[in-house]
Amino acid sequence: MVKRWNTAKQVAEKAWEMGRSDPRKIVFSAKMGLALTLISFLIYLKEPFKDLIRYSVWAILTVVVVFEFSIGATLSKGFNRGLGTFSAAGLALAMAELSKLAEDWQRLMIIVNIFTVGFCATYAKIYPTLKPYEYGFRVFLITYCFITVSGYRTGEFLNTAINRFLLIALGASVSLGVNICIYPIWAGEDLHNLVTKNFIGVATSLEGVVNHYLQCVEYKKVPSKILIYQASDDPVYSGYRSAVESKSKEDALMGFAVWEPPHGRYNMFRYPWKNYVKVSGALRHCAFTVMAMHGCILSEIQAPAEKRLVFRSEVQRVGCEGARVLRELGSKVKKMEKLGPGDLLFEVHVAAEQLQRKIDQKSYLLVNSESWEIGNRPIEDEESDPQQEGKFLEHKSRSEAVLDLRMVEVPHSWEGNVTLADNPPTDASPNMFRKELSWPDQIYQKSNPVAKEGQESKTYESATSLSLATFISLLIEFVARLQNLVDSFEELGETANFFDPLDQRPPV
Amino acid sequence: MVKRWNTAKQVAEKAWEMGRSDPRKIVFSAKMGLALTLISFLIYLKEPFKDLIRYSVWAILTVVVVFEFSIGATLSKGFNRGLGTFSAAGLALAMAELSKLAEDWQRLMIIVNIFTVGFCATYAKIYPTLKPYEYGFRVFLITYCFITVSGYRTGEFLNTAINRFLLIALGASVSLGVNICIYPIWAGEDLHNLVTKNFIGVATSLEGVVNHYLQCVEYKKVPSKILIYQASDDPVYSGYRSAVESKSKEDALMGFAVWEPPHGRYNMFRYPWKNYVKVSGALRHCAFTVMAMHGCILSEIQAPAEKRLVFRSEVQRVGCEGARVLRELGSKVKKMEKLGPGDLLFEVHVAAEQLQRKIDQKSYLLVNSESWEIGNRPIEDEESDPQQEGKFLEHKSRSEAVLDLRMVEVPHSWEGNVTLADNPPTDASPNMFRKELSWPDQIYQKSNPVAKEGQESKTYESATSLSLATFISLLIEFVARLQNLVDSFEELGETANFFDPLDQRPPV
């Protein structure tokens, strides 16, 4: 009993929270209540029309079915319903006239007709390009069958059709009136906000990923929800995930938004909603690299912390600048403003360039030189330029001298040798022989369950430094993809007639 | 005219093609026609029941609305409809009795009730956890309003409710009967096939990506559809994309499949459809690395062909083995068979290990040593071990000797220097000075629109080799993620009681 009470309390709290966070939902519910109330005023109808109540079901049906959250959805459903009803009524009347000619076979003909129409309409309904009109086909079928069947009973095909149509028109006008005139909720506005939100989400994820990576945050156990790509609380993950996942939502909203008349800030016929979806698609293309970077954190292959630290400030800067660009674009989309005169990407390109240079200089950190086939760095260098690079070299050489003591591991040669052909031929054969011997040994270890774990970790161990290279490379790829995003944004700005920030300036 | 004729021909051809590729769609349409035909036999009703035709709309409505493609969807909609009708009827009757007590205020009370019920039901409908029952709420509203309004007119609340219920029951039983008894179409079967298809798709993409990468296929212009993540014909792209995109479809199918009774190969109560979705989620997690690998092909940063060739056979082998594992798992899912005794991942792990070794040896190819801060490889080595490595070194040194002639590019030092702190302090200051001078020069070039292009390409030029490292690293990450996939598959095999291939063997 107490438990139930608690559950009820929780549900009530959640419901309250839902209303508080999006008051439009409360307004929508109230509007629905109002529309139904208006329709039920039918009960006040006096005599000559009193008979209409018998058909009141059509008006109620129309209100409940057509009344959707956004104006666009309401209009598109209303249109579907109207079109379905009209064409079905026309067809049914024509068929009725035809079947009257059949005299004795009338009933049979009606039934055959219903089968044929049912088959064709259903087949058309599942035809891919007609998917959006699915609802219209349903209405078509209902109307056709109803008029045919009930018309047969009364013989008043036309009367049935007209009454039905009147009440549907009444229901539709009540719902459209209430829905559009009182606090309209626009699908286009929702689409606009969704795109803006995606920008913020990806920017947050990017920052999170870069910071986590530099702080060497590791998942003790990767949340299983991430492994099977389900929603999870992790803010880094949910940021890009919601941008990636919102595709179908965007398409649906766009489908509704195109039905909406020009309104508010979207004051233009044929408003380019498509371009919002395009911008969001380009953002998604960027989000995929953020996702891949996050993969570097999720991976069991982790670059050592000290190596990450070397690139810390550059990586951090690229991350910050990248996120800044995303936020900037997001706020431009929100404010519906064109790009300013400067190059938005300038800073992030400089940062990426700087990172690139740093890598160029320090790429020895990204690889394991200890097992290079071409031999390790000689222990004592000639120190040809002692002033500039001497100390550095000495330091490096010593550290490698230690590494040199380990056995050089060389891979098995089955196919490996073939591709070596485009390197100059070497006298590597003695080496090969050693490999051939050591390989079966490892195979054996592998099939030995105790040794397996160790063997595997050894395999991935040397990949750790490459993982850093991957992260950085993905970050740079992210920056490269920003151009595409900016291009889509500019296209949107042009087609949607975004406001030019330069116009605001006082004339010089 | 000719044009229209052609369009019509095309549509007809496509419709025919749709039917040929999935004959279930034709069957479904015919079933729908049949159900409607059966319902329209109402017109043959003789006297005492003849009045029922007046309510025939309910039966027709129920058939059209409840009749869905799969059994699960039909059952869940039927249940929703039944529940909605029942509870609405109950509430409406109770309210009617109550409002009778109000006497003079009866009408007002009815209208207030309708508003309240409409508000509450709509608000509940958009409450997230109740989303799947959205349809039930609609039916609830329709029924409640209809009974209240038309009951008021006739005063026969109970009669209206009962007639309505009878015809809905008739419609529901006709559609369920036809839909289940004649060639049933199961949502579970669809889910099963979808998951299988995803495996094949990702495997194809993986092979395609690896082959394209090794053949250095480049997109002259990246298809803009890929850049904004829309469906495209590219087989490599569409393979992983459909696996990534199928999430919502899977969720919908799962929602229907849980309604389906045990049938055919899924002969078990509470069949673990959830695990199919889990396996598909784990596959999606793998598909994301394939997507990131494809990103390496789409990128403007391209590794030189000769370097790719060095790793050719190893990369190829990992790709083939990875695809083989996916296909194998896909066919196991299809045949509903557990894993065999061997380690499915053994071969792919060996291949990955081999690739890893090769990288270890050849990682100098993945970086640009020409601009190492620690100095380039000295031009003339001591040739301490001339027998084994001499020729190689000589070759390498010479190629670098050429590179050495170029100016060494060093990055700007703002923040870069801070992170150098964990390297031993060096006398790099003279170098710094040179940099400081060259940097503003580049900034200038950058703001110069003509030079901009060249500058940018220079920035990315040196990333080319790292791009190869990224590709390989992602490939290895892909292999690492396979383990998770295999685990999910094993869980599915356990819970869904997959057939054990060992049982087939004759007893020894």
At A380-394, the pLDDT tens digits run 333 333 343 333 333
pLDDT band at residue B263, thresholds of 50, 70 and 90? confident
What's the rounded Cα separation, in Å, for the pair A438 and A441? Answer: 5
Tens digit of each residue's pLDDT (9 = 90 or more) over A46-96: 766 766 777 777 888 888 888 888 899 888 888 888 888 888 888 888 888
Across the range B305-323, mean pLDDT stands at 89
Per CB-CB distance under 8 Å, the chain B contacts of A195 are none
Rounded to the nearest 5°, which phi and psi values hold at B263?
-160, 150
| Contact residues on chain A for B474, CB-CB shorter than 8 A | 292, 470
ipTM score here? 0.75
**What is the average pLDDT score of chain A?**
76
- Is pLDDT of A481 > 50? yes
Closest chain B CA to residue A467: B473
Residue A197 reports pLDDT greater than 90: yes
Per the model's pLDDT, the better-predicted residue between A81 and B314 turns out to be B314
**Tens of pLDDT, residues A345-369:** 889 999 988 888 888 777 777 766 5
Query: Measured between alpha carbons, how far is B150 from B148 in angstroms, rounded to an integer?
Result: 6
Q: What is the mean pLDDT of residues B446-466?
A: 50
**Considering CB atoms only, which of B284, B299, B372 is closest to A480?**
B299
DSSP A127: S
Quote the CA–CA distance of A354 and A317 in Å, as a whole number: 9
Q: What's the pLDDT at A383?
A: 38
Q: How far is the C-alpha of A67 from the C-alpha of A28, rounded, in Å?
A: 9
CA A239, CA A294: separation in Å to the nearest integer?
A: 11
Least Cα separation, residue A314 to chain B (angstroms): 7
In angstroms, the CA A93 to CA A165 distance is 13
Q: What CA–CA distance (Å, rounded) separates A78 from A172?
A: 7
Structure tokens that stand for B386 in this block: 């001339």
3-state class (DSSP) for residue B499:
strand
Alpha carbon distance A442, B245 (integer Å): 41
Contact B325, B241 (CB under 8 A): no
- The residues near A79 (Cβ < 8 Å, ≥ 6 apart) are A136, A259
Cβ–Cβ gap A36/B431 under 8 Å:
no
What is the reported pLDDT for A151? 72
pLDDT score for B504: 62
| Top-ranked range on mean pLDDT: pick from A159-163, B38-42, B157-161, B412-416 | B38-42
How much is the pTM? 0.77
| 3-class secondary structure, A499 | strand
pLDDT in tens, A135-168: 888 888 888 888 887 777 666 667 777 777 788 8
Please say if the pLDDT value at position A404 is more than 60. Answer: no
Using the predicted structure, report yes or no on whether residue B459 has a pLDDT greater than 60.
Answer: no
Q: Measured between alpha carbons, how far is B374 from B362 in angstroms, rounded to an integer?
A: 19
Return residues 97-136 of B near A (CB < 8 Å).
107, 110-111, 114-120, 122-123, 126-128
DSSP B9-68: HHHHHHHHHHHHH-THHHHHHHHHHHHHHHHHGGGG--HHHHGGGGGHHHHHHHHHHH--
CB contact under 8 A, B389 and A374: yes
Smallest CA–CA distance, residue B466 to chain A, in Å, is: 7
- Answer yes or no: do A64 and B393 touch at CB < 8 A: no
Per-residue pLDDT at A473:
87
A425 — pLDDT class (breaks 50, 70, 90):
very low
How confident is the model at residue B318, as a pLDDT? Answer: 92
Residue whose entry in the numeric block shows the structure tokens 């055919």: B264
Q: Which residues contact B266 (CB under 8 A, 6 or more apart)?
A: B186, B188, B189, B260, B496
Q: CA nearest B13 in A: which residue?
A: A127
Q: How confident is the model at residue B149 (pLDDT cuts 50, 70, 90)?
A: confident
Residue with tokens 């803006």: A196
CA end-to-end span of chain B, whole Å?
75
| Residue A219 touches chain B, beta carbons under 8 Å | no
List pLDDT tens digits, range B162-198.
777 788 888 888 988 898 888 889 999 999 999 999 9
How far apart CA B93 and CA B95 sit, in angstroms, is 5
Give chain B positions within 8 Å (CB) of A28: 122, 126
Per mean pLDDT, which of A428-432, B110-114, B279-283 is the most reliable?
Answer: B279-283
B502 Cβ partners below 8 Å, 6+ apart?
Answer: B340, B341
What gap in Å lies between CA A477 and CA A288, rounded to an integer? 10
Does the CB of A500 have a partner CB in chain B at under 8 Å? no
Q: Which two tokens stand for residue B501?
A: 């291939």
Token output for B424: 């031993």
Mean pLDDT, chain B, rounded, equals 76
Write out residues 144-163 of A within 8 Å (CB-CB) of B: 145-146, 148-150, 152-153
What is the token pair recorded at B155? Answer: 């005063």
Closest residue by Cα to residue A325 from A201, A492, A198, A479? A479
Q: Using the beta-carbon criterion (under 8 Å), do A153 and B50 form an inter-chain contact?
A: yes
Categorize the per-residue pLDDT at B407 as very low, low, confident or very high, splitting at 50, 70 and 90.
very low
SS3 content of chain B, % helix, strand, coil (to 5): 80, 0, 20
pLDDT top residue among B160 and A347: A347
Given a cut of 50, is residue A338 above it in pLDDT? yes
Binned at pLDDT 50, 70 and 90, residue A194 comes out as very high
Q: Which residues contact A66 (CB under 8 A, 6 or more apart)?
A: A74, A77, A78, A81, A171, A172, A175, A176
Q: What is the spatial distance between Cα A110 and Cα A95, in angstroms, rounded to a whole number? A: 8
Nearest CA in chain A to B302: A477
Mean pLDDT highest for which of A192-206, B91-105, B430-444?
A192-206
Nearest chain A alpha carbon to B57: A146
Residue B266: strand, helix, or coil: strand
Mutation for testing the A interface, residue in B17, B37, B125 having most A CBs under 10 Å:
B37
Residue B489 pLDDT class (50, 70, 90 cuts):
very high
